[in-house]
Amino acid sequence: MTQAACSIPTTPDPGGQPLAPCPDAALAARAAGDPELFATLYRRHFEPVAGYLLRRTGNQALAEDLAADTFLAAWKALPTYQDSGIPFRAWLLRIATNRANAVARRERVRRRVLAFLAPPDHHNPPADDTEHLYTALARLSAEHQTVISLVHLEGLSLEQTARTLGLAEGTVKSRLHRAREALKHELARTGGRP
């Protein structure tokens, strides 16, 4: 099997062409236990991962915090990366998704407790479309939030989503269908326009 490697130029490049960047897989294969190599991966992927978490949660501060958690978890889990058999970005998204799901589950419990103590005021509709969407999304199960986020907010295909989550494509397809129905229902229920 051929693995990609990095090189450094021995002579100045007159054309000014940058070297081909080191592939993620090559870096990840060597980065376990090497913080400097891992930092290269972290710098490369921080913003995309933070962006995914922003679109998933709708909350920048939370996304920033979860992105940091994701990379710290990735650093610890890096020795197991190669066993995952998926691209590095997908592996990071899987970790980020797990982190976001944990928060989503806690938030659902918290909301149920609050609803029990003080029923929600249905006469107070969401302030804008963005809040409306995220209010509705937050009411879905973590699994439904996940497929909606990966497919509709990240633009992953069903196959890519399945690989990221380690699920069969058919499972993702049926889960997405149910998630869309649930979201539609929540959008109608949580106010704003239909």
Partner 1 sequence: MNHDMHTTTDAADTRMNELLARARRRAWTGPDHAPRVEEHLKGITMKEQSKPTLTRNAMILIGVGVVATGSLAAAVTRSVLGHHATIVAGDGQQYDVELSETADGASGSFVTDDGAVYDIDMTEQGGQKNVTVDINSPTGGTSTVILDNGASPRITTLPGQTARIEITENKADGQKRNDAESDGGDN
Residues of the shown chain interacting with partner 1 in the complex, contacts defined by CB under 8 A? 1-11, 13-15, 17, 19-20, 22, 26-27, 29-30, 34-40, 42-43, 46-48, 50-51, 54-55, 58, 60, 63-64, 67-68, 71-72, 75, 129-130, 132-134, 148, 152-155, 180, 183-184, 187-188, 193-194
According to the 3-state scheme, what is the secondary structure of 85-116?
CCCHHHHHHHHHHHHHHHHHHHHHHHHHHHHH
| Residue from 36, 42, 48, 8 nearest 24 by CA | 42
Smallest separation, CB 113 to partner 1 (Å): 27
Nearer to partner 1, 72 or 114 (CB): 72
Both tokens of 111, joined, read 């909301």
| Min dist. Cβ of residue 165 to partner 1 (A) | 19
Nearest residue (CB) to partner 1, 6 versus 142: 6
**What is the nearest approach in angstroms of partner 1 to the Cβ of residue 189?**
11
Could you tell me the smallest distance in angstroms from the CB atom of residue 55 to partner 1? 5
Between the alpha carbon of residue 107 and those of residues 9, 83, 102, 151, 192, the distances in Å are 51, 32, 9, 22, 22
Say if CB 70 and CB 49 are below 8 A apart. yes
Contacts of 111-115 with CB under 8 Å at 24 or more apart are 111/138, 111/139
Give the nearer residue to partner 1 in terms of CB position, either 151 or 162.
151
CB nearer to partner 1: give 9 or 119.
Answer: 9
d(CA 177, CA 17): 46
Q: Would you say 136 or 165 has its CB closer to partner 1?
A: 136
